[in-house]
Amino acid sequence: MIPSIEDFQIYLTYEKRLSRNTIEAYVQDVEEFSYFDIQGDLQPGGAWPQGETEKEKIIDYIISLNEKGISNRSIARKISSLKSFFIFLLKSEKIDLNPLENIESPQYLKKLPHYLSLDEVECMIAPGSKDAGALTGPRFARDSCIVELLYSSGIRVSELCSLRIRDISLEKCIIRVMGKGGKERLIPIGKAAAVSISRYMLYRQDLSPKTSLPEELFISRLGKKLTRFSVWSIIKQRAEKAGIIREITPHTLRHSFATHMLTNGADLRSVQELLGHSDITTTQIYTHVSTDLLKDTHKKYHPLEKEENGV
């Protein structure tokens, strides 16, 4: 452990309230830099070398990452980790200057998320089947409710699995979820999703022979809280039954929720709050998706465009 790393972990956990995985990534990035920077200049008393010398070492470190073929996305994340660490050192009065203050992260192209059409979502909620019996019963009600709720609320699969019955208000059409970093938020759900939850609740006890069930809403046939892996399997099966041949995950429904909200006029800040993004730049990726969708719609339906395409 380098000087102050334990205090840094406490800072990320309780002040920044980041998730465990994010904290581990930040710490790993800072430690990696310390190994690169360990040539006799890291003082045992806990003080980092400052000024231009430290800044030059950071630049050398970034150059070395480029030479190793590390992607710009990964380099940007490492710089972000270091920035957080030096900000922490400044707040703790362990340093007087931030050597990363004027160092910018490299630009990179963000991968645009895949999303479903409304028809595809509806087909996943109620996929056709030759076996009429497969369209009823506990498992069908549960799986349909999962698809409906993921799309209606845009919550993460981990949030879905942890959703408790007492966190749901069907009367107000609101659910309470615990997001990354232990941040709680209230999310409205559609009436269709509320009806789907009510329908599933009628079958919930029939899913398992156990008389005592967990407090989480979604359970397995063994009477246990549904796992993330199980939800991924359910979504994959539903996509196949709906005739969707590309890979679909629970996150695809989250992407679809965000894209459709923005396309239909929702403002970016509202979508950010609903998704539980701490940084609006994470949400902004959906503006590119919705803009492309609007361009396609314009090209397809605008009178002049239709004439040029021979429609």
Question: Long-range contact list for 128-135, CB < 8 A, 24+ apart?
Answer: 128/241, 129/241
Mean pLDDT over the full length of the chain: 80
- Three-state SS at 234: helix
Q: Map out the domains of the chain with their CATH numbers.
A: 5-91 (1.10.150), 118-299 (1.10.443.10)
With CA atoms as reference, report the closest residue to 149 among 241, 235, 269, 221: 235
Number of Cβ atoms within 10 Å of the Cβ of 48: 20
Please give the pLDDT value at position 308: 54
Coil/strand/helix, residue 296:
helix
Determine contact, residues 309/298, Cβ cutoff 8 Å: no
Q: Residue 73: what pLDDT?
A: 79
- 29-43, 51-65, 144-158: segment of lowest average pLDDT: 29-43
| Structural element, H or E, at residue 177 | strand 174-178
Strongest mean pLDDT among 73-82, 111-120, 199-208, 280-289 = 199-208
pLDDT-based confidence at 145, cuts 50/70/90? very high
- CA dist 223 and 209 (Å) reads 7
Burial string for 7-23 (b: 16+ CB within 10 Å, else e) reads ebbebbeeeeebbeebb
Confidence at residue 310, expressed as pLDDT on a 0 to 100 scale? 54
- Residues annotated as catalytic are 156, 180, 251, 254, 277, 286
Examine the pLDDT at 188 and tell me if it is beyond 50: yes
d(CA 286, CA 98): 33
Residue 292 pLDDT > 90: no
Q: What is the pLDDT of residue 175?
A: 94
Report how far residue 86's alpha carbon sits from residue 92's, in angstroms, rounded to the nearest whole number: 10
Asked whether the predicted pLDDT for residue 235 surpasses 70, the reply is: yes
Higher-confidence residue of 62 and 2: namely 62
The secondary structure of residue 3, as a DSSP letter, is T
